[in-house]
Amino acid sequence: MSWFRRHPSATAYILLAPGILYLLVFYLYPTAQMFLVSLWTGSPETGYALTGNFGIYPEALAQYSEHLTRSIFYGGAATIVTFLVGFPLAYFIAFRGGRYKSVLLFLVIAPFFTSFLLRTLSWKIIFADNGLALGPLKDAGLLPDTFRLLATPTAVIAGIAYNFLPFMTLPLYVALEKIPPNLLEAAQDLYADGWQRFRRVTLPLALPGVFAGSLLTFIPAVGDFINAELLGDPRSQMIGNVIQARFLRVSDYPTGAALSFILMAAIIIGVLLYARLVGTEELTGGTT
């Protein structure tokens, strides 16, 4: 016991060891491996050799820039949708939830008890061209017969937003929940009206939640491929679909791996810029 007391930093490392080991084995090693794969040349039939073919990066980027920008656009749009839906939801639960708070929070997470895949597949039934949702509207003459939701970019973005909504809502809720009521009272005492109170007190204090929620949504959303595969058409496939097809249909591992790194780099750059713009001191380690 006393040894640990005399070596506080050793204690920290011992506590960190499982996490570090985990990252080494399941993140750094595969990432390094994948990086080497991206530098292979060859074909599945003739075998591959590590040739240090860095030229594959500009090639892959040029060939699939359209998919990349599309993915960033879809991911960004979905993040905005989740924010627009998630913020009022989190606000309501945090400030008006009362004794139903935990029930409401449970309801936000409830869809997660069903497989991601099945929930997305069920959209295919619900939003079929003449299905539960669109059929009656078309029968009533509110929509033209040729209207469709599935196999469109709208469906892909909506599907992503639907699937990632809790990732936005929960951090927002945590941030809003933390706001001390006396700060709001103080604002009121200083003659702030409702809107000013929201804009000058609530929103700034919720920013860490906005930041965390949008990152948690945006990063996986850009790489998502299930929604595009199930709800999109051939023209709305995302970079994740291309990576999947490169690995699983064409067995072109180098291009698949290179695209994975390009995607990673694009996301990291985007996130750093975002952190510069919106990031709060609380998140970057400063003191409030």
Partner 1 sequence: MTDQGSIDLRAMATDGKAVRALSRRRMLQLAAVTGASAFLAACGTAGTRTPGPSASAGRPSPSGSAPSVGPSATASPSDTESPVPGASTSPSSEPIQQSREPVTGNFRFANWVGYMDKAPGNRFPTLERFTEETGITVEYSNGAVDDNESFYTVDLEGPLGVGEPTGWDIVVLTDWMMQRLIAKGWLEQIDTNGLVNYPANLLDQYRSRPWDPDNTYAAPWQSGMTGLGFDRAKTGDLDSLEALWDPQFAGRMTYLSEMRDTIGLSALRLGFDPAALTQDQYDQAVAEVQRAVDEGLVRQLAGNSYVDVMDLGDAVLAIAWSGDVQGLLVPDQAADQDFVWVLAREGGMIWTDNMGIPKGAQNKAQAEAWIDFYYRPEVAAVVEAWVNYVCPVKGAAEEMLRLDPALAENTFIFPTEEMRARLHEFVSVDLDTAALWEEAFNDAIGL
Q: Between residues 101 and 124, which has the closer beta carbon with respect to partner 1?
A: 124
Q: What is the largest CA-CA distance in the chain?
A: 79
- In the complex, minimum distance from the CB of residue 91 to partner 1, in angstroms, rounded to a whole number: 30
Q: Between residues 89 and 216, which has the closer beta carbon with respect to partner 1?
A: 216
Q: Between residues 102 and 251, which has the closer beta carbon with respect to partner 1?
A: 251
Tell whether the torsion through CA atoms of 57, 61, 64 and 70 is positive or negative. Answer: positive
- In the complex, minimum distance from the CB of residue 66 to partner 1, in angstroms, rounded to a whole number: 10
List residues near partner 1 by CB under 8 A.
30, 33-34, 37, 43-46, 115, 117-118, 121-122, 124-126, 128-132, 146, 148, 150-151, 225-226, 229-230, 233-235, 237, 240-245, 247-253, 257
Q: Between residues 86 and 232, which has the closer beta carbon with respect to partner 1?
A: 232
Q: What is the DSSP letter of 99?
A: G
- In the complex, minimum distance from the CB of residue 139 to partner 1, in angstroms, rounded to a whole number: 13
Question: Could you give the dihedral angle defined by the CA atoms of residues 72, 269, 266 and 51, in that order, rounded to the nearest 10 degrees?
Answer: 180
- In the complex, minimum distance from the CB of residue 29 to partner 1, in angstroms, rounded to a whole number: 11
Q: Please report which helix (H) or strand (E) contains residue 42, including its range.
A: strand 40-43
- Bridge-based pairing state of the strands 40-43 and 47-50: antiparallel
The span from the first CA to the last CA of the chain, in angstroms, equals 35
- In the complex, minimum distance from the CB of residue 152 to partner 1, in angstroms, rounded to a whole number: 9
Q: Between residues 122 and 284, which has the closer beta carbon with respect to partner 1?
A: 122
Q: How many CB atoms lie within 10 A of CB 224?
A: 24
Burial class (CB in 10 A: 0-12, 13-18, 19+), 14: exposed
